[in-house]
Structure 1
């Protein structure tokens, strides 16, 4: 299999004059971008980075971030991106954990870098200007052209993503060139991308969804439109200006696009393919998107940093809530919630833990420096995701949440997602998250946290739930109205904040 450096060269050789990347007013063809990539590769090499070294990158989704990603592929350097909102202690931890040889940052991350004790021990390259930097990105770009050709093989490590680390230390997920290329090829096939596609590059390049969009566009000689920080107004303007043909977002961002005042006046006719991942999409949002975009393809994709694609539903409209079947590069199973035996299968229709075969082409091989995490998640050649779900009567997967999010009330296992899907359809509900709060009698009680979009109270929502097919034991016992549902930077609901009382009440 080709490594990713040679993969990029494929696109340059096939279609050198095609627009490859857009960032603001900057538009680069594949040939012009390759020139920048090879200069940055040479600059990194002159900084002392070589095959197998880690480069820590703390940048937003800008041209420099995408260029560094590709430059590392040519050098055989392991690009190791972090959330640009990372705290000093997170930068310290990841610099040590990865034994990173250098750090690249920008203005939004400069304060955290300045407060990082470990950052002072490595070369610090700034995009823009900062007096604490030892080098400037402009200097890398001014280097002579790298002429040694791609240094990596398909079996070398391409990048290392850090999981969000909502509990405990973040875990490094190293992924080889062949795993990344297989994942990108699978993404192209399962989203039916054609030559010359154009995507909105808004999912962060420290997250698997962002990386997949970047690589997939190169495979089809397509265009990656950088959006450094999500803004619905800017996103809509770029969709119209650049004639974006596909969107691959988390549900939260779709929600925000539809809710923005500019949506009705934006020409979205170029968008023919929608894909979502990162979290379940509630029925109401799915129906609104289908009506607004009328896409040719609407894909529900379920995956992870560890095993990129686990399941794909190529027509999310056909059966809302279904994540479909195993992707083309993997196998998956549902095992009993309490087991570590990959052969101890959960009965059809019963909730279990989702596990994926580590022999799959997209699967990682284990966490970086974390034997404890491997012992918890890797069993018998299978990756135990920590996600819960069930297989319906057609054998399709429905993802219901995390093992840790499961509400156990009166001895019953209750999935928050089932309740959220019902409540999302109420006309007075904008967003909803369900969690379990401690209860002396029941162990946990079901509580629904509601962001309103119209006049509604708890009594009305309770009456609404009673009129649906939601089982009585799943019905929320309390409704809490909030100004915002707390989410991670990539749009995942942070239920732990809700259960800890870390939210702003809606006082209207």
Structure 2
């Protein structure tokens, strides 16, 4: 299989004058971007960075971030991106864990990098105004000073391309190592599963420290498409870019779709260029699915279910046909559902029975284990299968339904209750904007079902309870309490942080 450097060269050779990347006023064709990427790769090489070295990158989705990612693929570096909101302690941990040789940062992440003792010992590269005072910091522009004598093309398909850090909601984040061949296979699968054509244009808003952002970047190169950088998400700016750059496809988490629609409903926006929608990162509630279908009328609407470890577990190209379904196994995957507590992948469940979702690691997109975490590997990898920690079931037609996380499962009165089922029902109430369901401690029941609701219009607990009673939701799953909140707490990539609700970290509103 081709490595990613040669993959980018394919687009340069096929479509040298096609628009490759946009960042504000900066617009580069594939030929122009390739020249810049080669200069950056040469600049990194002159700093002593070589094949197999890790480079910690703490940047937003800007042209320099995307350029560094591709330069690393040509040079054989292991790009190790980190959330630009990370603190000094996390920067230190990831430098130590990855044994990074250099760190790249910008003004928004400068304080954390400057406060990291380990970062001070590395080659430090500053983008923009960061590090302008000197102190041994190298400006990014220096990397562009000299083109290589011969083109740099030093990686092969077996080299490590990337190490992504999982969100680390419990304990330290885990490094997910991904080879060139796995990254390319995942990008090819993404192109096929989303029905991308040559020349697509996508909004580069999902962060490039997240698997969704990396996939968008690579997929556009495979189809000679355009990656429109969005350094920091803002509804007005994003919708303006969609209209101005005639973006054809969106791949976002449900939270960002929700926010875009809410802004458009108040201010208006031109969405006519967008023909393909894809979402991942979290289940999408039924109410939002319907609103997106009405707003975009997409040609294809993909529910993509995957992870950093194995990019695609399952997908469907008709997200609204069977609401809540993640479809069937991805092009490069095999999946099963096994009982909770299963130790072997052979302990399969019958159709309709809920358990843990697992995926075979022989698939082309799969990782090979976490970096320096034997205990995490022992827990997650058994007999060649990855135990995802997600709960779900496969229905009688063979479609997968993801019902939540094993850790999020509510056990009330001995019954297993999935929050996602309840959230989907409540999301269809016209007064509900967003909802998250958790289990809180209860002396009698063990846990009681509590719904945290962000309302779009005045409603009450009694009205929402009546809505649940009138639905197909089983009685024992009905919330026993409703808490109205100003916002549902979420991670930087839009995942609901249920642990914060359990811990009381939210702003309550008066009962409406």
TM-score normalised by structure 1 residue count: 0.99
Task: Tell which deviates more after alignment, 78-87 or 347-356.
Answer: 347-356
Structure 1 residues 413 and 14, CA gap change in structure 2 (3 angstroms): same
1:253-293: CA deviation from partner (whole Å, max 9, x where unpaired): 00000000477632211100000000000000000000000
> Shift of the alpha carbon at 1:148?
4.4
Matching of residue 396 in structure 1 with residue 393 in structure 2? no
> Shift of the alpha carbon at 1:143?
2.8
2:278 corresponds, among 275, 291, 297, to 275
Which residue of structure 2 aligns with residue 409 of structure 1? 412
Which residue of structure 2 aligns with residue 147 of structure 1? 150
Classify the secondary structure of the residue corresponding to 1:108: helix
For the residues of structure 1 that align with 2:416 and 2:469, how far apart are their CA atoms? 19
1:221-273: CA deviation from partner (whole Å, max 9, x where unpaired): 00000000000100100000000000000000000000004776322111000
5 Å-filtered alignment, 1:321-360, equals 321-360=324-363
> Shift of the alpha carbon at 1:457?
1.2
5 Å-filtered alignment, 1:301-380, equals 301-380=304-383
Task: Tell which deviates more after alignment, 355-364 or 122-131.
Answer: 122-131
The answer to whether the 8 A contact 1:42-1:146 is kept is no
Task: Tell which deviates more after alignment, 454-463 or 99-108.
Answer: 454-463
> Shift of the alpha carbon at 1:147?
2.4
**Which runs of 4 or more aligned residues in structure 1 lie more than 4 Å from their structure 2 counterparts after TM superposition?**
261-264
For the residues of structure 2 that align with 1:164 and 1:147, how far apart are their CA atoms? 39
Classify the secondary structure of the residue corresponding to 1:292: helix
The answer to whether the 8 A contact 2:274-2:296 is kept is yes
The answer to whether the 8 A contact 1:233-1:262 is kept is no
For the residues of structure 1 that align with 2:45 and 2:266, how far apart are their CA atoms? 45
Which residue of structure 2 aligns with residue 157 of structure 1? 160
Matching of residue 286 in structure 1 with residue 289 in structure 2? yes
The answer to whether the 8 A contact 2:42-2:152 is kept is no
> Shift of the alpha carbon at 1:145?
3.0
> Shift of the alpha carbon at 1:348?
1.3
Structure 2 segments unaligned to the other structure (5+ residues) = none
The answer to whether the 8 A contact 1:38-1:146 is kept is no
Which residue of structure 1 aligns with residue 42 of structure 2? 42
Which residue of structure 2 aligns with residue 83 of structure 1? 83
For the residues of structure 2 that align with 1:133 and 1:249, how far apart are their CA atoms? 38
Structure 1 residues 207 and 315, CA gap change in structure 2 (3 angstroms): same
Which residue of structure 1 aligns with residue 197 of structure 2? 194
Structure 1 residues 407 and 146, CA gap change in structure 2 (3 angstroms): farther
Task: State the superposition RMSD in angstroms.
Answer: 1.0
For the residues of structure 2 that align with 1:263 and 1:192, how far apart are their CA atoms? 31
Which residue of structure 2 aligns with residue 183 of structure 1? 186
Classify the secondary structure of the residue corresponding to 1:260: helix
Which residue of structure 2 aligns with residue 122 of structure 1? 122
For the residues of structure 1 that align with 2:458 and 2:383, how far apart are their CA atoms? 52
2:232 corresponds, among 215, 221, 229, to 229
Which residue of structure 2 aligns with residue 468 of structure 1? 471
Which residue of structure 1 aligns with residue 388 of structure 2? 385
Classify the secondary structure of the residue corresponding to 1:216: helix
1:356-412: CA deviation from partner (whole Å, max 9, x where unpaired): 000000000101111011001000000000000011121100001100000000000
For the residues of structure 1 that align with 2:283 and 2:154, how far apart are their CA atoms? 40
For the residues of structure 2 that align with 1:422 and 1:265, how far apart are their CA atoms? 28
The answer to whether the 8 A contact 1:430-1:450 is kept is yes
Task: Tell which deviates more after alignment, 236-245 or 129-138.
Answer: 129-138
Structure 1 segments unaligned to the other structure (5+ residues) = none
Which residue of structure 2 aligns with residue 490 of structure 1? 493
1:129-173: CA deviation from partner (whole Å, max 9, x where unpaired): 223561010111223336243111100000000000000010000
For the residues of structure 1 that align with 2:248 and 2:149, how far apart are their CA atoms? 33
For the residues of structure 2 that align with 1:340 and 1:326, how far apart are their CA atoms? 22
1:179-214: CA deviation from partner (whole Å, max 9, x where unpaired): 000000000000000000000000000000000000
The answer to whether the 8 A contact 1:313-1:325 is kept is yes
Task: Give the number of equivalent residue pairs.
Answer: 508
Which residue of structure 2 aligns with residue 22 of structure 1? 22
